[in-house]
Amino acid sequence: MKKAYQIDERRAIEKFRSHLLNDHGAIQMILPLAEIAQRLRKGVGQFLLQAQLQLVTLIMEDEVN
């Protein structure tokens, strides 16, 4: 047998899901700008490193051929 809090939790989750499916409005969030900038720098740096590695690999494969 389910406890009352489990039933309430399930109802709240179902209500939230229903709201998400039916409401197409915009949301506004407050985000820490410094943290986002740091993550972007790290992500872009990682992306560039991978692109450089792929380029060097292609050049080396072309030289072998």
The string of pLDDT tens digits covering residues 3-62 is: 777 888 889 999 888 888 887 777 777 888 998 899 899 999 999 999 999 999 999 999
pLDDT at position 54: 93
Number of domains in the chain: 1
| Domain assignment of residue 35, given as a range | 4-64
Of residues 1 and 61, more confidence is placed in: 61
* Spatial distance between the Cα atoms of 40 and 28, rounded to a whole number of angstroms: 20
Give the dihedral sign, CA 12/17/23/24: positive
The pLDDT of residue 1 is 64
26 token code pair:
């915009």
Say what the pLDDT of residue 44 is: 92
**pTM confidence score:** 0.44
Q: What is the pLDDT of residue 59?
A: 93
